[in-house]
Amino acid sequence: MATQLDAGSDRRGRSREKLATLVRTRSETLSLYAELANQRPFEPDEVINEALQEFCQALIDYAASAHFQLYRFISDKLERRTPVLEVADRVYPKIVQTTDLILRFNDKYEDVDLTNGGTELLMLLDSDLSNLGETLAERIQLEDQVISAITGQVH
């Protein structure tokens, strides 16, 4: 019996570590999002270009972190608590949709040089960034439901 308890505690400890990594990458991404958004109105200069590239890298790191740190942990059956699995099953399809939007944003902007010929995209950046902000807010709300289940805060 003690071995089963130890295994459960060990799994919970690993899931909490993974949550900490997810929350850290999410916070870094949101910070870079705010820095980039505060550069409005966007001009074709090196500061905007660098901020955009740094944000895109953080965005992909965050999306990957969510997948590998949290959802893979659940899908690999390392998380066994029914309330966690139920929440994850309910929200995961919606999170996949947000991931698709994140990847589309990244594909559009990751290699753009706004200082040399990227002015068409520069005009779209403001609205694309606003739409991405809504997507990130939705994703965070969904992730927080899973986090609450893992940390035992689901009622």
**pLDDT, tens digit, 9 for 90 and up, residues 6-25:** 555 666 677 778 788 889 99
Q: How does pLDDT run across 76-121, given as a tens digit for each residue?
A: 776 778 888 889 889 989 998 999 999 999 999 999 888 887 778 8
- For every residue of the chain, DSSP letters joined together read -HHHHHHHHHHHHHHHHHHHHHHHHHHHHHHHHHHHHTTPSP-SSHHHHHHHHHHHHHHHHHHHHIIIIIIHHHHTT----HHHHHHHHHHHHHHHHHHHHHHHHHHHHTT--TTTT-HHHHHHHHHHHHHHHHHHHHHHHHHHHHHHHHTT---
Q: Is the pTM of this model over 0.95?
A: no
Domains and CATH numbers, the chain: 2-150 (1.20.120.1370)
